[in-house]
C-alpha cells in the first residue's frame, strides 16, 4: 500500500526522494508528494496519479546543500485520492508522512478542532502533525513533543516528521507498518518502508521494531523503544538484489501475499467496525432501499468470494441473493429487474467480462456496487458505489490476499445490510463484529504450519486428480483451493460440494484420487464427516483439514480450535493456499507467473 521515503544530507535530495518513491511504486498508490526543508524554508510538491506528474511539478526545483526531506506514495483509505489528501501533511511549520491507519484520529481531530485547528484534508494522518504542534507549544521541545504525540496515537503507523523548530532533524516512529533506516559513507541518512529504495545508496540498514521512535541528525541516530528506553541501532547488511528486496525475503510474491493476509485484513477492517455496527462511510443506506434481490457477478477467484457472499447474505441479511459467472451472464439475455442490487467483485476492477456486466446492469437501470481492490479502476469509476478491499497491490498471478479481503468485506457488508433490514438482533451483530476482529489473528501463518505443508506437499505431486470438498460456505473455499492448485501446479483439481460426491464423482475414488476435505467443527460437521467416510471406504487418499482429529484420514492438518465457522474458514484458506504453493514449488513451476495466465484479464 502506501510508501515512505526520507533523506537527510547534502546530496541531490529531490532525486533521492523521487527515485526512492519510484522503487516503491510496486506497492500501489494513487497520489504522491515530497517536502524538503532547506535553509529554514519548505518546498512542497504533491500530485495525483503516477509519479511522472510529481516529477513534472518538481522539474524546476533544485536543492543547494544540506537539506532534510520526506516523501510518500498514497493508496487512498481515508478520503479520495486528491492533492489535498496526498502526503506530506502540513501543520503550521512541520510536515508529516504516514503509512498505516490512526484508529483514534476522529477523537483527536475533534479535540483539535474544538481548539480552533483547521484541517485541510480528510485523512487520518493530518491529526499527527497538528497534535505534534499542539504538544510543541506546550513542551517547547521538539523531541518531547514528538514522543508525547506518538504516545497519543492508536493504530498502525510508520511516521516521518520534519519541522522548522529542528531543521536538521527527521523524527520517526514505527508501530505495525514497516520502516528502516540506512546510513551511507558520508553519514547521510535514508528512510524507506522497504529495502528497495536504499539499495545502491547504503550497504547496511537498521529495521525498526514495533514501538521504536526517535530522531536522526547529521551527528546522531537516537532510537527509543516503546517503554522510552534508549537502544542501539542494529545495522545488518543490505541485499543488493532489488527483486528479492520487493519480496521482503520471501521466495515468491504469492508466498509474501499469503503471509500479508493478516495485516491487510486489519486494514480492511480498520475504521469500519464499532462495538455494535459496521460502518461503511463510502456507502449510503439508500443503496439498499427498495431492493428485493442482490445479484453478485464476478470471475475466477472473485467469483468464489462472491459465492461466499451468497451464503453470508442469505444467512445474516436474509435477502434473496443470486450468483453469476460474468462471462456467462453477459451473453444470455438475462432478466434484470430494478429491484435488484447488482454487485460486481473484482481485484483489478478491469476484468473485461465483469466490467461488461456492470455496464449492462447500469444500462438496465439497476443500482450497482463494486467490491474492488483498485481505486480509480474502470469498475470503481462506473459503479454507483464502491467498497475498496485495501489488500494492497497483489503481484502473484494466483490471487490470495485479494480473496481474503473480499470475503472480509462481504462478511462486514452482510452485517451492515442485516442492520438495515433488521434481520439480526443487536446482540447477534455485536457478536459477529467481535468475531470479525479476530480474523487477523486466525490468518497469521505460523512456522509450524508452513513446515507441515512443505513436508506434506511431497505426497501430492502425482495422481489422477484432486477433489477439494466442503459444504455450505466451505464449498466456495473448496472451489478456491482447487483453483489455486490447478493454476500453479498444473495438476487437475476440482472443488465439489461434499454431499454431491455420491452423485457421480465418487466413481473416481481410488488411492490415486486425492481428496482434500474441509471439515469445520462449527458447520455441518457430522454431515461432511459422513461424506469423507464414504470416500475413505472406497480407498481414496484423504487429507482432512479440521480442528478435530479424524482417524480415517491418510493425512491430517490441524487448524486451531475456533469459536465460529468463519474463523475456521480463514484458517483453512491459509492451509489450502500453502498446500498449492508448496506443491508448485516442488514441481519446479513458476509460482508467480504460471503458464498461460495473466494478472488482469482485459479480453473476453
Ligand atoms: C485466480 C485469479 C483469477 C481472477 C479473475 C478475476 O487466482 O486471480 O481467477 O480472480 O481473473 O480477476 P479480477 O478479480 O481482477 O476481476
| Among 50, 57, 242, 599, the one annotated catalytic | 599
CA distance linking residue 31 with residue 54, whole number of Å? 9
Query: 145 CB contacts (<8 Å, ≥6 apart)?
Result: 132, 133, 135, 136, 138, 139
What number is the average pLDDT over the span 149-172? 96
Cα–ligand 1 centroid distance for 585 (angstroms): 21
CATH assignment at residue 530: 3.40.50.10490
What beta strand segments (E) does 164-212 contain? 170-175, 180-183, 189-192, 204-207
Give CB contacts under 8 A, 24+ apart, made by 329-332: 329/297, 329/357, 329/360, 330/356, 330/357, 330/360
Structure confidence at residue 370 (pLDDT): 98
Atom of ligand 1 lying closest to residue 402 CA: 14
Ligand 1 mutation target, pool 349, 601, 602, 604, most atoms within 8 A of CB: 601
CATH assignment at residue 178: 3.60.20.10
CA distance linking residue 340 with residue 452, whole number of Å? 46
Asked which of 417, 439, 461 is the last residue of a domain, the reply is 439
CA distance linking residue 34 with residue 17, whole number of Å? 7
Mark whether 111 and 178 lie in a shared domain: yes
Sign of the Cα pseudo-torsion (469, 470, 476, 481, in order):
negative
Which protein residue's CA is at the shortest distance from atom 11 of ligand 1?
300
Ligand 1 mutation target, pool 252, 254, 302, 604, most atoms within 8 A of CB: 302
Which is nearest to 22 in space by CA: 9, 49, 3?
3
| Among 2, 297, 299, 543, the one annotated catalytic | 2
Asked which of 246, 273, 307 is the last residue of a domain, the reply is 246
Mark whether 75 and 224 lie in a shared domain: yes
Structure confidence at residue 596 (pLDDT): 82
Cα–ligand 1 centroid distance for 316 (angstroms): 26
Instruction: Collapse the DSSP code of 85 into the 3-class scheme (helix H, G, I; strand E, B; otherwise coil) and give the result.
Output: coil
Mark whether 559 and 466 lie in a shared domain: yes
Tens of pLDDT, residue by residue over 514-560, are: 999 999 999 999 999 999 999 988 889 999 999 999 988 999 999 99
Cα–ligand 1 centroid distance for 289 (angstroms): 30
Composition of the chain by helix, strand, coil, percent to 5: 40, 25, 40
Mark whether 403 and 530 lie in a shared domain: no
Which protein residue's CA is at the shortest distance from atom 3 of ligand 1?
300
CA distance linking residue 530 with residue 498, whole number of Å? 9
Q: Phi, psi (5° rounding) for residue 118?
A: -100, 130
Ligand 1 mutation target, pool 28, 253, 258, 301, most atoms within 8 A of CB: 301
State the residue range of the domain holding 156. Answer: 3-246
Cβ atoms within 10 Å, residue 225: 14
Mark whether 431 and 458 lie in a shared domain: no
Structure confidence at residue 352 (pLDDT): 87
Is 599 one of the catalytic residues?
yes
Mark whether 242 and 280 lie in a shared domain: no
What are 167's three cell numbers?
Answer: 531543521
Which protein residue's CA is at the shortest distance from atom 8 of ligand 1?
399
Ligand 1 mutation target, pool 252, 351, 378, most atoms within 8 A of CB: 351
Tens of pLDDT, residue by residue over 435-458, are: 999 999 999 999 999 999 999 999
Tens of pLDDT, residue by residue over 72-122, are: 999 777 778 899 999 999 999 999 999 888 889 999 999 999 999 999 998
Mark whether 12 and 67 lie in a shared domain: yes
Mark whether 595 and 465 lie in a shared domain: yes
pLDDT at 1 over 70: no
Which protein residue's CA is at the shortest distance from atom 9 of ligand 1?
300
What number is the average pLDDT over the span 316-332? 95
Cα–ligand 1 centroid distance for 537 (angstroms): 36
* pLDDT band at residue 600 under the 50/70/90 scheme: low
Cα–ligand 1 centroid distance for 212 (angstroms): 38
The rounded percent of the chain whose pLDDT value lies above 90 is 80
pLDDT at 478 over 90: yes
Cα–ligand 1 centroid distance for 300 (angstroms): 5
Give the global pTM.
0.78
Number of domains in the chain: 3
Mark whether 412 and 335 lie in a shared domain: yes
Which protein residue's CA is at the shortest distance from atom 16 of ligand 1?
346
Report the side by side order of strands in the sheet with 340-346: 320-325, 293-298, 340-346, 367-372, 385-388
Tens of pLDDT, residue by residue over 223-235, are: 999 999 999 999 9
Mark whether 258 and 240 lie in a shared domain: no
Structure confidence at residue 405 (pLDDT): 98
pLDDT at 23 over 90: no
Asked which of 424, 439, 454 is the last residue of a domain, the reply is 439
Structure confidence at residue 322 (pLDDT): 97
Structure confidence at residue 152 (pLDDT): 97
Tens of pLDDT, residue by residue over 164-208, are: 999 999 999 999 788 999 999 899 999 998 888 999 899 899 989
Mark whether 197 and 267 lie in a shared domain: no
Pocket of ligand 1 (CB under 6 A): 299-302, 346-348, 351, 354, 398-399, 483, 487, 600-601
* pLDDT band at residue 413 under the 50/70/90 scheme: very high
Cβ atoms within 10 Å, residue 64: 8
Mark whether 270 and 242 lie in a shared domain: no
Amino acid at each position: 500500500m502506501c510508501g515512505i521515503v526520507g533523506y537527510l544530507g547534502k546530496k541531490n535530495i529531490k532525486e533521492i526522494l523521487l527515485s526512492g518513491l519510484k522503487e516503491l511504486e510496486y506497492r500501489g498508490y494513487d497520489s504522491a508528494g515530497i517536502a524538503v526543508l532547506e535553509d529554514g524554508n519548505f518546498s512542497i510538491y504533491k500530485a495525483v496519479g503516477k509519479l511522472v506528474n510529481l516529477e513534472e511539478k518538481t522539474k524546476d526545483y533544485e536543492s543547494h546543500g544540506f537539506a532534510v526531506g520526506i516523501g510518500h506514495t498514497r493508496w487512498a483509505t481515508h478520503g479520495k485520492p486528491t492533492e489535498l489528501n496526498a502526503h506530506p501533511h502540513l501543520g503550521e511549520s512541520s510536515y508529516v508522512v504516514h503509512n498505516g491507519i490512526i484508529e483514534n484520529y476522529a477523537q483527536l481531530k475533534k479535540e483539535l478542532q474544538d481548539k480552533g485547528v483547521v484541517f485541510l484534508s480528510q485523512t487520518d494522518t493530518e491529526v499527527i502533525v497538528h497534535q505534534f504542534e499542539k504538544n510543541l507549544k506546550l513542551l517547547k521541545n521538539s523531541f518531547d513533543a514528538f514522543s508525547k504525540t506518538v504516545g497519543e496515537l492508536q493504530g498502525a503507523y510508520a511516521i516521518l516528521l520534519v519541522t522548522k523548530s529542528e531543521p536538521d532533524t527527521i523524527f520517526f516512529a514505527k508501530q505495525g507498518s514497516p520502516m528502516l533506516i540506512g546510513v551511507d559513507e558520508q553519514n547521510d541518512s535514508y528512510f524507506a518502508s522497504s529495502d528497495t529504495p536504499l539499495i545502491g545508496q547504503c550497504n547496511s540498514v537498521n529495521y525498526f521494531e514495533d514501538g521504536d521512535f526517535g530522531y536522526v541528525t547529521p551527528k546522531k541516530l537516537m532510537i527509543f523503544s516503546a517503554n522510552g528506553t534508549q537502544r542501539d541501532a542494529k545495522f545488518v547488511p543490505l541485499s543488493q538484489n532489488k527483486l528479492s528486496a520487493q519480496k521482503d525475503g520471501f521466495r515468491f510474491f504469492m508466498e509474501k501475499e499469503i503471509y500479508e493476509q493478516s495485516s491487510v485484513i486489519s486494514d480492511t477492517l480498520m475504521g469500519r467496525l464499532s462495538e455494535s455496527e459496521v460502518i461503511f462511510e463510502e456507502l449510503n443506506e439508500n443503496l439498499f432501499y427498495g431492493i428485493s434481490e442482490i445479484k453478485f457477478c464476478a470471475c475466477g477467484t472473485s467469483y468464489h468470494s462472491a459465492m461466499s457472499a451468497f451464503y453470508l447474505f442469505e444467512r445474516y441479511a436474509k435477502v434473496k441473493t443470486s450468483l453469476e459467472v460474468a462471462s456467462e451472464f453477459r451473453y444470455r439475455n438475462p432478466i434484470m429487474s430494478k429491484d435488484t442490487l447488482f454487485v460486481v467483485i473484482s481485484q483489478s476492477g478491469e476484468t473485461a467480462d465483469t466490467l461488461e456486466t456492470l455496464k449492462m446492469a447500469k444500462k438496465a437501470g439497476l443500482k450497482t456496487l463494486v467490491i474492488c481492490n483498485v481505486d480509480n479502476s474502470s469498475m470503481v469509476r462506473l459503479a454507483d458505489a464502491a467498497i475498496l478491499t485495501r489488500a494492497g497491490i497483489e503481484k502473484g498471478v494466483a490471487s490470495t490476499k485479494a480473496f481474503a479481503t473480499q470475503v472480509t468485506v462481504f462478511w462486514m457488508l452482510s452485517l451492515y445490510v442485516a442492520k438495515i433490514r433488521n434481520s439480526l438482533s443487536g446482540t447477534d451483530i455485536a457478536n459477529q463484529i467481535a468475531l470479525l476482529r479476530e480474523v487477523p489473528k486466525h490468518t497469521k501463518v505460523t512456522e509450524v504450519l508452513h513446515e507441515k505443508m512443505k513436508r506434506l506437499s511431497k505426497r501430492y505431486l502425482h495422481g489422477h486428480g484432486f477433489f477439494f470438498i466442503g459444504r455450505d460456505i466451505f464449498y466456495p473455499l473448496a472451489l478456491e483451493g482447487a483453483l489455486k492448485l490447478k493454476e500453479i501446479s498444473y495438476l487437475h483439481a476440482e472443488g465439489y460440494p461434499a454431499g454431491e460426491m455420491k452423485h457421480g464423482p465418487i466413481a473416481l475414488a481410488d488411492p490415486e484420487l486425492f481428496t482434500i476435505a474441509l471439515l469445520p467443527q462449527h458447520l455441518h460437521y457430522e454431515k461432511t464427516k459422513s461424506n469423507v467416510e464414504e470416500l475413505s471406504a472406497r480407498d481414496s487418499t484423504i487429507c482432512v483439514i479440521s480442528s478435530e482429529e479424524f482417524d480415517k484420514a491418510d493425512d491430517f492438518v490441524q487448524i486451531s480450535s475456533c469459536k465460529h465457522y468463519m474463523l475456521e474458514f480463514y484458517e483453512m484458506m491459509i492451509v489450502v493456499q500453502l498446500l498449492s504453493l508448496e506443491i508448485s514449488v516442488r514441481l519446479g513451476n513458476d509460482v508467480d507467473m504460471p503458464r498461460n495466465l495473466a494478472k488482469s484479464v482485459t479480453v473476453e
